[in-house]
Structure 1
Amino acid sequence: MKAKTIKGNSLKEIESAFNNAISDGFKPTLAVIFLSVAQDREAICRLLEKHEIDIFGSTTAGEFIDGEIGEESVAMMLLDISHDHYKLVHLETGSSQTLAVAKSIGQQGLETFSNPAFIIASGGISTDGEMIVRGIEEAVGPKVTIFGGLAGDDFKMSGTYVFTNRHYSINGLVVIILDEDKINVKGLASSGWEPVGTVRTITKSEGNVVYTIDDQPALDVVIKYMGINKNLDEWKDVIMNVGSEFPMQIQRENAEPVIRAPLFANKEDRSLVCAGSVPQGSKVRFSLPPDDSVIDKVVDECETVKDKELNEAEAMIMFSCKARHLSLGPMVSEEIDRVKNVWNAPMIGFFSYGEMGKATKGKHEFHNNTCSLVVLSEKK
């Protein structure tokens, strides 16, 4: 497997970079494209389709191939991976539930490879990422390898998309199914947010919608917790702040807490819509954002993965939460560069609205406010 990364701020710049990348005879079979909703994804896809390249694409809330973070730009990774080692799948959610669609993808994985791994991007602002992981697990089993992220839209919160060949506006899922008997698929999901304050109870919720916390409207609770007196007409700013600075941590027995961040609120019933499920009855604590020490933790965990699981990488894909970007600020560029330097391999990534990956002490699951990294190499 060989990988090259390119980036640009327009179709013209991407076309020039692409032509330069293939000028030495490099013939990619698969392109990973992370781009702003402001870009013409159809035109960029047509450029690649002329060369019969498969496309795994997602809109973003910021994209990168190194520590220089793009704004309303395009980042692309070109891979020459064998067609026998992967399958590209896309399904629109339509009237079907996310759980059922994800289970179908898991079944396709098993029909294609005896040991499938999944890299996923999901469109749809209110998609419950937990259902994606659960659906694939129901089909494949609890030890299945899953990495990915929920698409972004430059933090406009109006419409996110994933796309692939000749399908440019998919509100469902696009998936790279990899043959783990042929491809090493390793990685980690790391957060760094620390719990603070008293334990609270989710007293009413349904799926990823939280209605009350300690029998109080959920939006009122987070506004009070933040110590502000915001007019509810400014609810979007409130959610932006609580999502990036004070996400909820669901407490679990015999497992690390899992973070859930609100994506937006309903002013009428003052509920919160999160990126993943928050079961009724859950015990939660709010969080404090990490300081620069969290970067050292992420890098140390990457070094552990390198030493114990995969010493050499040929490609790296990062799904990093937009809330993490807002909280860490300029330090997030340092995190990206330092993680890339652990393996010194081509890397692409984007800022997402939810992440899938493997915690250091757990299985592959859905996260918020997390940096999820997947590292790939062909088995020799």
Structure 2
Amino acid sequence: MQQNKAGYAHKKVRSEFRGAHRMDTAEVILSVLVVVIIIVSLLSNILVLICFLYNPEIRKQVPGLFNLNLTFCNLLLTVSNMPLTLVGLVSKAQPGGDGFCQIVGFLETFLSTNSMLSMAALSIDRWIAVVFPLRYHSKMRHKDAAFVLGYTWAHSMSFSTVATCLSWVGYHRLYASCTLSNPRASSRTQFVIFTVFFHSFTFLLSFIVLCVTYLKVLKVARFHCKRIDVITMQTLVLLVDIHPSVRQRCLEEQKRRRQRATRKISTFIGTFMLCFAPYVITRIVELFPAVPINPHWGIVSKCLAYSKAACDPFVYSLLRHQYKKTCTDIINRLLKRSSLNASGRRQENQVNSIPTD
């Protein structure tokens, strides 16, 4: 009888252990999503880095330094934090020991902060280039860009170091990753103040800079579009013999020009908010224990934050004409080299197939 009870208890514990490690459908979907984000982020950021190294014109430009810093942060985040989040999601346990998790959490805090500030620096660069085009080269030089990047690194390093030294970095089950976490109740008030302060001076500050600079850029762009539209309409009025189809194409081009600037600004600000806002809001709501948070939502918000590393190469680099042309040149050069190698091998085979006396 006792053996039967012991066997039953053993089977129950074993079934509960298997149930605790069994992944449901939502977790499987989230795991696949993390894998897709890792692949896209890795390939796209490597492509941006290749374009930067291949094209000397991109390296000479000041925005190239900001793009390089952003690409560096995204690549390091992709290879260091995202795979460990995937491991934590699948195994439902902390990947590695506490010391290892603190190092990974330090990197996550540093890289995410640095990437946000890099986007703010890019918006400031665009604002100076559009609003002060004649003084851009005197206002934004390479040493000025290096000073801005120095601030982003110092800002990111200070918050990451403080969190690590106070043991506020560790494995967080809600996000299945090593990130900001405070398991001790004794320092809860200090952790709440730090978290609010940290997100105010990273996410909120970057968002305000993005809105202010890009809205000014949009205002200037619309002003220039209006001037061009007036000149175009005056020209169309003078050209009375112009064909109606040509007139219609000119009007459509005016409309596309107005929409293009709005679409670009909306993409810059919209992707920033869509990717980072859910995660930051969740971290703030988490500070109130009375508010329950769905564990699946925690992973979703983390995936959205990670997806910014996959979006940035397209938003800031790969969709621009200069990067498109560089990618085309690289592909054409590779294809030309492979075709030359193939023709060389064919000629060698033909020479070898000639009979000799």
TM-score by length of structure 2 reads 0.23
Structure having the larger proportion of residues in strand? 1
Structure with the larger helix share: 2
Larger radius of gyration: 2
